[in-house]
Amino acid sequence: MTISRRDFIQIAATMGASLAWAGPEKISPARWRERRDLFPEGVASGDPDPHSVILWTRRPFDRGQRHVLTLEVAADEAFRRIVATAPAPVSAAADWTCRVLVAGLRPASTYWYRFTDEDGNGSRVGRTITAPDPGDARPVNFAFVSCQSVNDGTLNAYRRMIFEDEKAAPSDQLGFVLHLGDFIYEVVWYPEDLATRYDRKIYEVARIPGGEKVGNLHLPLTVEGYRAVYRGYLRDPDLQDARARWPFVAMWDNHEFSWQGWQSIVKAGSFERPGQTVKVAANQAWFEYLPARVARPNSTSLESFEPPAVKDVAIERFDADGLGDEPNNRIAIDSLKAYRALRYGRQYFREISGNGIDFGYPVDGKCTLAYSRILDDSEIVIALNLAATERADYITVDAHLNGDGAKLKNLLDPRAQFVVEARGRRNAVKVPLAAHSMAILRQT
């Protein structure tokens, strides 16, 4: 499929990015000299497709409300072969972050990019990789990450990923990093309130303006508060280097908004309140700090989020699907939309049973946790024993795909076989698991 320049202008507008279009190679016109101190959160790229990717940086200024950087994208690390140059506006309204959709790129290709301000001060150089064409038979490698907590320890897992990727053969190197959420933990400890946790030192993340303190936890309630947490996380040098090395495909989880929150209700331990304004603030900061193909239904600006006006109103009535029908709740939830979808297959959380008769979902952390992925006509069951002791629980399977007597093997230990049994109305399989161990089951 060919996508026209006009289509890309439309796409960029939908997700609030400016557009750069790749053309014939040129020599760099910018007077770039690296000043990492002026771009303290580094650079990043996100959501590559075969012909485009979103590029990101942050350049805070002391003066003025808006400045324009120059973005350069090159086919070589030395920037002798520039394929795209574009203005990249940054403004106080977006906390000095910018997003540019670069289009017209070649599939499965590596590019380098950098930003330069009006005085020639430059960001570090980032590297990104476009997705392969749908017809490309070569596999794509990726790593997934989630739940990164700077409070609990620096993010040096990224250092290991980078080290291994640099040593790997080109065909074994990563094409992207999938971030499954909890890019931040919005609940933050200050080291003076809590020195250690699990015997580990508590690291400074941020001071949260306008937040709330619940026990020892500080949590943000305003966009400035969330921004402070993102900046605190992005000061981690390993995270910065990872974002500069690979494109990230990112989705949010709970902590991008609120630890125990749901819809637009903020909840952290004993603290609970309607938080429509908080939900919008969390979405705004996510939008500003993570380059991603997301839509802001309430905004048309290419340069800033334009938060919708909402009020923190109690949410008391819920529709048949459990969605609070308080209007501010709907606006807050819809203020940022992502369209991540499995193109194929379904996923189910599975009921379990200790005795093979009474089935239910897990109620504590001392059980077998199981879920199924159904792809086309096969079921893959993932079972985790969360307990510190051996367990042998029954796990529900799909009765159509895994009938009575079907044999499953553990892909992690192919000698281990399991036979599906009819247990009342459901089919299930009994899976013995050592403490804290895991099985991946599939029909033999």
- List the beta strands (DSSP E) in 126-220: 126-129, 141-145, 174-179, 188-189, 196-197, 200-201, 212-214, 217-219
First and final CA of the chain: distance in angstroms?
38
Rounded least distance, CB 147 to Fe ion, Å:
3
Rounded least distance, CB 144 to Fe ion, Å:
13
The answer to whether 32 and 111 are in contact (CB under 8 A) is no
Q: Return the closest-CA partner of residue 90 out of 43, 129, 128.
A: 43
Structure tokens at 6: 């006009």
Pick the closer one to Fe ion by CB: 86 or 217.
217
Residues that bind Fe ion (CB under 5 A): 147, 182
Q: Please report how the helices 237-245 and 157-167 are oriented relative to each other, as an axis angle in degrees rounded to 10.
A: 40
* 391 alpha carbon, distance to own chain's centre: 33
Pick the closer one to Fe ion by CB: 182 or 421.
182
Pick the closer one to Fe ion by CB: 113 or 183.
183
Pick the closer one to Fe ion by CB: 249 or 406.
249
Element (H, E) at 431: strand 426-433
The answer to whether 374 and 348 are in contact (CB under 8 A) is yes
Rounded least distance, CB 193 to Fe ion, Å:
21
Pick the closer one to Fe ion by CB: 147 or 412.
147
Rounded least distance, CB 298 to Fe ion, Å:
28
Only one residue has tokens 């109690």, namely 314
Pick the closer one to Fe ion by CB: 256 or 326.
256
What is the rounded radius of gyration, in angstroms, for the C-alpha atoms of the chain? 24
Pick the closer one to Fe ion by CB: 253 or 404.
253
* 26 alpha carbon, distance to own chain's centre: 34
Rounded least distance, CB 83 to Fe ion, Å:
38
* DSSP character string of 273-287: EE-HHHHHHHHHHHH
Rounded least distance, CB 285 to Fe ion, Å:
17
Find the residue with minimal CB distance to Fe ion: 147
Helix (H, G, I), strand (E, B) or coil at 340: coil
Rounded least distance, CB 408 to Fe ion, Å:
30
Element (H, E) at 353: strand 352-353
Rounded least distance, CB 3 to Fe ion, Å:
35
Pick the closer one to Fe ion by CB: 40 or 269.
269
- C-alpha 19/C-alpha 157 separation (Å) is 33
Pick the closer one to Fe ion by CB: 323 or 338.
338
Rounded least distance, CB 349 to Fe ion, Å:
17
Give the side-chain half-sphere CA count within 13 A for 120: 6
